[in-house]
A and B are shown apart, each in its own frame.
Chain A
Amino acid sequence: MSDQTIAAGERAVTRSRTRPEANRDENLLEVEDLSVSFVRRGAQPVRAVDGVSFVVRPGQIVGIVGESGSGKSVTSLAVMGLLPQRGVVASGQIRYRGQDLLTLGAKKLSDLRGREIAMVFQDPMSSLNPVIPIGTQVTEVLLRHFDVSRGEARAEAEHLLRRVGIPDPGRRLKEYPHQLSGGMRQRALIAIALACKPALLICDEPTTALDVTIQAQVLELLKELVNDLDTAMVMITHDLGVVAGLCDFVNVMYAGRVVESAPRHELFAHPRHRYTEGLLASMPRLDHPRTEPLRPIRGTPRDIVSWTKACAFAPRCDHADEACMSPDLELVLDGPGEHRMRCVHPAPLASDVADDD
């Protein structure tokens, strides 16, 4: 597949970019102190995201890892400006090339969305419109953001589908989402997201609904595309394995806050936060002896205390003591490559978890 698709990809990228050239040293996206609360009638507001900060440089792949309720998906929706209008309070800043997306007008935001920032969702079936042919869904993005004719848009859509490895794209353009397999739908969604060659691609669990072999295809495709188009990517996932093979920099979230962030090699070689460490120890791994017992984290992600009182992970942590009960622990710099963590009793550096042959 790749011979053909790479050739098509080269054609596809020849379209000139109209946005300012990326400055390598400049941050593409700066999320600073982002908080999102959900307010519901007759209930305490729920703070889903709580003071999250991270940066994405051009061409960089940044991972956000967490379980359900960690706030990772809400973070991505906030960046896309897709949070519901009612019942949501967001504060902090999301600066894209210096513009704060949280305060940007709806019109400007929608110009940016799809054109500069695109998103790939977990469930390709519900994020594609079931009654519109795939082709129209791709061309409508192009027509919305570029001054192109229908014929040109159609030709470009065909290139895009071929580029993402959909065989016989001419025919597929006329088909409806339900006629495609899950993997093909996710490819179509990626084609739509990449139609305008965005500078930033946000992927929310893009492979969770897919089988392993299809997941491998899609991840390989994403890697290739990001490389070729020089697109930066935010990868939101619960799967540490996906992160390990893909991301340049990883943020681990728990109960709405980033608890640890580091470049991927550093993070997996020296997980410092007890949650990261616990997650890695609790997963059955193909690279470890089969009989090695799993060391689960006790409790469930629902057993949390408020960060304003203590470390939210303390109820589940084997190392928790009085010191962990102090409010609003800091995310402190500790270790090479901007390794930061929010933990009173971090795992000692000597324990080399990634001690494999």
Chain B
Amino acid sequence: MRLADLQRRLGRCLLEGRSDPAVLERLADPPEQRERRLAVYRNNVRHALLSVLEAAFPVVRQLVGAECFAATMLAFVARHPPGQPVLYRYGDRLPDFLADFSPLAEPWPWLPDVARLEWARNEALFAPEAEPLTPARLAAVPPADLPGWRPSLHPSARLLGSIWPVHAIWDAHQPEGGALEAVELDQAESVLVWRQAGTVRQRPLQPGEWALLIALAAKRPLAQAVEAAAGQDANFDFPVALARLLGAAVLVAPNPESGGHELGDAPDDHFVVRRPVADREERRR
């Protein structure tokens, strides 16, 4: 058997958890031990990928329980094995997989959005660095230029709109988090995730802030972004919102240097999911 055939066949055995007589025949070990010996590799593959997914989706794991999580991840790994060896990027397809996985999506319809939030946190952790916009830098912009100025979001920033209280569910599964009983499931939440001083942070957004950040992520000028925010919330207080965003290092100056990074360059990368936002707006009407 050619090496390429052997590798293809062995790879399939390991991923799909089945036996292949043509592979077993190539081994020199005692026949009664061959399956067990190959099972070491199968367990290693599964354990390695399960560990990566456990680290990226700890709240999903708490929600469904460790055993159910492990069984679901086996199905995910068989369907979507990693396509390259950089495993901090493995798991991006899990939220959509969970949405289509009826044994979990029916009892826990919010689970895919919790997974989207956790994936946003994972992306934020590994996104490129960028100098945050400081009040001093902003003050140096001539006032006449401000309406047309286009500050953008830090490369780590992610905007997640959900029809579920996705931040509250996440928070109820943190060591110092809120009470699970206090989560109101009919409460929709929009969440900002970002990295500040090396730590991933998140907070739910008011409709005005959400509209402002969506507009800035789309590289629209400041005046238009403020207008969009005021359109969502008549009481939107721009100076207060701006001070808060500057203090949290969420904004960067226009046209940040882009160093050919693999994550977070395109404005679209800031949007974790768009469709549920539309759904939510429809539901509100």
Q: Is chain B a partner of chain A in the same complex?
A: no
Interface residues of chain A, those whose CB is within 8 Å of chain B, are none
Interface residues of chain B, those whose CB is within 8 Å of chain A, are none
